[in-house]
Structure 1
Amino acid sequence: MLYGWKGRLLIVKIRGHIKLFDLYKPVLIYMTKVTMFLIVIIGTKGCLNSINLCKREGKEG
């Protein structure tokens, strides 16, 4: 859960611990890493699906 606090700071409750993050550094870095991770996973699944489709088309053709 994220709670806005005084604009620049967020109170982030993680596993029962409340931590303060400066929006401009750790949160953005964390969000960027998470986003890149998700993009990589989605991209990998997309590539695997494409390879499987190509194999199927090759066998049928």
Structure 2
Amino acid sequence: MEQSDVVISKKQAQIFARAIYKNVSAYIQTHQEEYEQFLLEEKGADANDEDQSTHRSKGL
């Protein structure tokens, strides 16, 4: 299946973004503990990525 380009107006993009934000915000409020755990895991993953990138050989 071929992917086609979709063009939307700035107003449509704002409506879409607000709808996504509203849903994500509601989920975070309902699952605050789970979200905080996710943030901690992401922070740890970012630290691991930084640690690994500093130890790469120059050949890579």
Q: Shorter-chain TM-score category?
A: 0.3 to 0.5
Question: TM-score if structure 1 supplies the norm length?
Answer: 0.44
Larger relative contact order (CA 8 Å, sep ≥ 6) = 1
Q: From the two aligned structures, give the one with the greater helix fraction.
A: 2
Structure whose residues are more often strand by fraction: 1
Which is higher, the Rg of structure 1 or of structure 2?
A: 1
TM-score with structure 2 setting the length = 0.45
